[in-house]
């Protein structure tokens, strides 16, 4: 390089950038007791805290959907939503009449996996990856933090292709590559294979993490919209086993509880 | 599930549905969350399992006649986090159970709270624990 000061500045910047990355990894490996803000390690459970005190919120709004208000659906999405027959929630139908893919044990996809059965997830950080292990059916999300770009030559998948980078104390996760076979939530809001999620994960205190999810899918929604969630650390919990097919074998209460007996 | 000498109605339930091809997870709407009832009775069986744990008890109705009831809880992970284990109940235990009755009037309840023979109470919060399950 001809300009020595510029070369020096570039070298200094490069060293700083690399060492920030190393520092984040090193500090993050010390465990939750000395958690740095860039350490999301732990078992987390989504809080059902209402967003404000404006009114009482139903459990359906807090636990079954991504936002309290309806998202800005296109006519295409409205038609799909009206055709959804969820097996739980305010518009539930008997399980045998539901067209919810999860009722047949298909993967819930993202972001629905966050809502699934109110169950916890565990975040583990290893070099080059942030791994989320969900108690529901042991689904795993791998968020690659090694600088790779999205895959271009693979077919769409149920859980999408996630890459992440730290912006200060926020992990920004970009996910594309979804198939269109899942519901966004438990009540049947739809999406297409053009779904693009940007999640911002931030540990705001030792015991609390916020996840803000921006949902962009122009055929389904007239503009991007954001879901805010708060997660509580559960240091005494370990991820257990919840298997979707156990629902399938659980027929002994169905007859007893059917309406109109 | 161990088959016990149930009353005829429950026996019919077992035979009819055990081979049903349906996926059977029912929502919590099968129970009336605005009503609470309490039963005192004797445990005949306890299944600590996914997706729902089940407690089978004999309780006397208002006329003093013994009735069989099934009390439905949650799955293993969730219940274990509020103190349940597979050994916490056994046949013969005298318990008091509070819960939401089945909407259709059958002898089924959704568990909210139990008082164990030792006097210890174990509770499941309503919306917080059941939402989405």
User: Which residues in chain B have Cβ-Cβ distances shorter than 8 Å to A116?
Assistant: 132
Output the average pLDDT for chain B.
80
Grade residue B133 by pLDDT with cuts at 50, 70 and 90.
low
Structural domain including A26 reads 1-30
Residue B64 pLDDT exceeds 80:
yes
> Do A257 and B78 lie within an 8 Å CB cutoff?
no
Q: Are residues A104 and A13 in the same domain?
A: no
Q: Any CB–CB contact under 8 A between A261 and chain B?
A: yes
What does the H/E/C string look like for chain A?
CCCHHHHHHHHHHHHHHHHHHHHHHHHHCCCHHHCCCCCCCEEEEECCCCCCCCCCCCHHHHHHCCCCCCCCECHHHHHHHHHCCCCCCCCCCCHHHCCCHHHHCCCCCCCHHHCHHHCCEEEEEECCEEEEEECECCCEEEEECCCCCCCCCCCCECCCEEEEEEECCEEEEEEECECCCCCCCCCCCCCCCCCEEEEEEEEEECCEEEEEEEEECCCCECCCEEEEEEEEECCCCCCCCECHHHHHHCCCCHHHHCCCC
Tens of pLDDT along B19-62?
333 334 455 678 888 899 999 999 999 999 999 999 999 998 87
Domains defined along chain B, listed by start? 8-130 (2.40.50.140)
Q: Are residues A42 and A154 in the same domain?
A: yes
User: How many whole angstroms separate alpha carbon A91 and alpha carbon A93?
Assistant: 7
What per-residue confidence (pLDDT) applies to A11? 59
Q: Are residues A98 and A190 in the same domain?
A: yes
Q: Are residues A60 and A12 in the same domain?
A: no
Q: Are residues A22 and A74 in the same domain?
A: no
> Do B30 and A241 lie within an 8 Å CB cutoff?
no
Answer yes or no: are the C-beta atoms of A104 and A87 closer than 8 Å. no
Chain A residue with Cα closest to B75: A242
Query: If you count them, how many residues does chain B have?
Result: 133
Number of domains comprising chain A:
2
What per-residue confidence (pLDDT) applies to A260? 67
pLDDT above 90 as % of chain B:
59
Instruction: Going residue by residue through chain A, which has 261 residues, state the pLDDT in tens, using 9 for 90 and above.
Output: 456 666 666 655 555 545 444 444 444 444 444 556 689 999 999 998 888 888 888 878 888 999 999 999 999 999 999 999 998 888 888 878 899 999 999 999 999 999 998 899 999 999 999 999 999 999 999 999 999 999 999 999 999 999 999 999 999 999 999 999 999 999 999 999 999 999 999 999 999 999 999 999 999 999 999 999 999 999 999 999 999 998 766 777 877 887 765
What CATH number corresponds to the domain at position A84?
A: 2.40.128.20
Q: Which of B28, B72, B77 sits opposite A242 (nearest CB)?
A: B77
User: How many whole angstroms separate alpha carbon A128 and alpha carbon A21?
Assistant: 11
Q: What is the DSSP secondary structure assignment for residue B88, as one 8-state letter?
A: S
Instruction: State the best of A45, A96, A252, A258 to mutate against chain B, taking most chain B CBs within 10 Å.
Output: A252
Q: Any CB–CB contact under 8 A between A256 and chain B?
A: yes
What per-residue confidence (pLDDT) applies to A243? 94
Q: Are residues A75 and A42 in the same domain?
A: yes
Residue B94 pLDDT exceeds 50:
yes
What per-residue confidence (pLDDT) applies to B130? 56
Write out residues 40-99 of A within 8 Å (CB-CB) of B. 48, 59-60, 62-64, 87-89, 92, 94-96
The ipTM is 0.75
Chain B residue with Cα closest to A247: B25
What per-residue confidence (pLDDT) applies to A88? 82
């Amino acid at each position: 390089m001809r300009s020595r000061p510029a070369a020096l500045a570039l070298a200094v910047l490069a060293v700083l950038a690399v060492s920030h990355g190393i520092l984040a990894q090193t500090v993050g490996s010390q465990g939750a007791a000395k958690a740095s803000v860039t350490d999301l390690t732990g078992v987390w459970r989504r809080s059902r805290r209402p967003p404000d005190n404006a009114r009482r919120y139903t459990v359906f709004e807090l636990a079954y959907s991504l936002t309290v208000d309806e998202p800005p659906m296109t006519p295409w999405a409205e038609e799909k939503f009206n055709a959804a027959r969820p097996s739980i929630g305010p518009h539930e139908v008997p399980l045998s009449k539901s067209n919810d893919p999860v009722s047949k044990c298909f993967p819930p996809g993202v972001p629905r996996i966050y809502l699934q059965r109110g169950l916890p997830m565990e975040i583990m950080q290893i070099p080059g990856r942030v791994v989320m292990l969900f108690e529901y059916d042991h689904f795993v999300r791998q968020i690659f933090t090694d600088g790779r770009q999205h895959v271009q030559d693979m077919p769409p998948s149920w859980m999408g292709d996630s890459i992440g980078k730290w912006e200060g104390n926020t992990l920004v996760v970009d996910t594309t590559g979804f198939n269109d076979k899942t519901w966004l939530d438990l009540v049947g809001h739809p999406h297409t294979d053009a779904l693009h999620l940007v999640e911002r994960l931030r540990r705001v205190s030792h015991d609390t993490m916020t996840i803000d999810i921006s949902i962009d899918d122009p055929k389904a929604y007239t503009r991007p919209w954001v879901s805010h969630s708060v997660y509580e650390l559960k240091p005494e919990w370990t991820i257990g086993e919840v298997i979707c097919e156990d629902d399938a074998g659980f027929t002994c209460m169905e007859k007893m509880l059917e309406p109109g007996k | 599930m161990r088959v016990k000498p149930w009353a005829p109605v429950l026996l019919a339930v077992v035979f009819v549905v055990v081979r049903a091809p349906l996926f059977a997870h029912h929502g919590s709407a099968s129970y009336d969350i605005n009503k609470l009832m309490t039963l005192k009775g004797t445990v005949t069986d306890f299944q600590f399992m996914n997706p729902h744990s089940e407690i089978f008890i004999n309780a006397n109705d208002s006329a003093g006649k013994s009735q069989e009831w099934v009390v439905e809880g949650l799955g293993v992970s969730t219940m274990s986090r509020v103190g349940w284990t597979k050994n916490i109940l056994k046949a013969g235990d005298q318990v008091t159970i509070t819960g939401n009755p089945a909407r259709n009037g059958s002898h089924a309840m959704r568990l909210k709270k139990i008082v164990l023979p030792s006097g210890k109470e174990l509770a499941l919060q309503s919306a917080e624990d059941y939402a989405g399950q």
